[in-house]
Chain A
Amino acid sequence: DGGITQSPKYLFRKEGQNVTLSCEQNLNHDAMYWYRQDPGQGLRLIYYSQIVNDFQKGDIAEGYSVSREKKESFPLTVTSAQKNPTAFYLCASSLQGNYGYTFGSGTRLTVV
């Protein structure tokens, strides 16, 4: 079955540590996106990539980094520079053109 997989589902981080969230898709989608969702809040775009080896900052990129070395993969690193990283992180992918996004099931990150 085609889909988008995020791992892990839950992640705990100590203050000062970097952590990397995985996002893999087998839908042959060109574009991939990372969103942050806080309780009762909407979706805020962190980074997006429309092609391999290229990505752009979204609205809240500070304290985050990404890479896009393969079409299927778009990992997100939450660095120690992100002061309030506790949130629900969602990865999505889409075909180029006016098509909807397919979202993963999310990673809940908690700083302990």
Chain B
Amino acid sequence: QQQVKQSPQSLIVQKGGIPIINCAYENTAFDYFPWYQQFPGKGPALLIAIRPDVSEKKEGRFTISFNKSAKQFSLHIMDSQPGDSATYFCAASIRGSRLTFGEGTQLTVNP
């Protein structure tokens, strides 16, 4: 019940495309859903986060869509650039407990 399942494992898009990464969870008590971006050899960095009282949050070219009834949330990257090539992790937590991470998605944006 504590798992967060992330898909796809890897994703390749062309510059300007809109990659979509999906995550699903079982535990309805989760109340905080962040996304992290990790470049090779670096630590992950918080990209954007959402709470279940909203269905969408945008920050620049990054958008989280949240579907509470389906227990799913996704990351969309608008007008993707080669510099967005990285590994993306979704995560979830309950009332500030430790984060449960998804397995990660390796995104490649070709020029």
Contact = CB atoms under 8 A, between A and B. Distances in A.
A48 interface: yes
19 contacts: A33-B98, A42-B102, A43-B104, A90-B43, A96-B96, A97-B95, A98-B32, A98-B96, A100-B36, A101-B36, A101-B44, A103-B36, A103-B44, A103-B45, A104-B43, A105-B42, A105-B43, A106-B41, A106-B42
A59 B96 CA distance: 18
Given A100-B34, A101-B99, A40 B44 contact: no
Contacts, number: 50
Q: Which 3 residue pairs spanning A and B have beta carbons closest together?
A: A103-B43, A98-B32, A100-B46
B68 interface: no
Interface in A86-112: 90, 92, 96-106, 108
Interface residues of A, number: 23
A97 B42 contact: no
Of B31, B42, B45, B98, chain A has the most CB atoms within 10 Å of the CB of B98
Given A43-B101, A96-B96, A100-B34, 9 more contacts: A6-B43, A33-B98, A42-B103, A42-B104, A98-B32, A100-B46, A101-B46, A105-B42, A105-B43
A100 B49 contact: yes
Interface of B: 31-32, 34, 36, 41-46, 49, 51, 89, 93, 95-96, 98-99, 101-104, 106
A6 to B, nearest CB: 8
Contacts of B102: 42
A90 B44 contact: yes
A101 B11 CA distance: 25
Contacts of B46: 100-102
A97 B95 CA distance: 6
Q: Which of A40, A97, A98 has the most CB of B within 10 A?
A: A98
Given A103-B45, A105-B42, A42 B51 contact: no
Contacts of A105: 42-43
A27 to B, nearest CB: 13
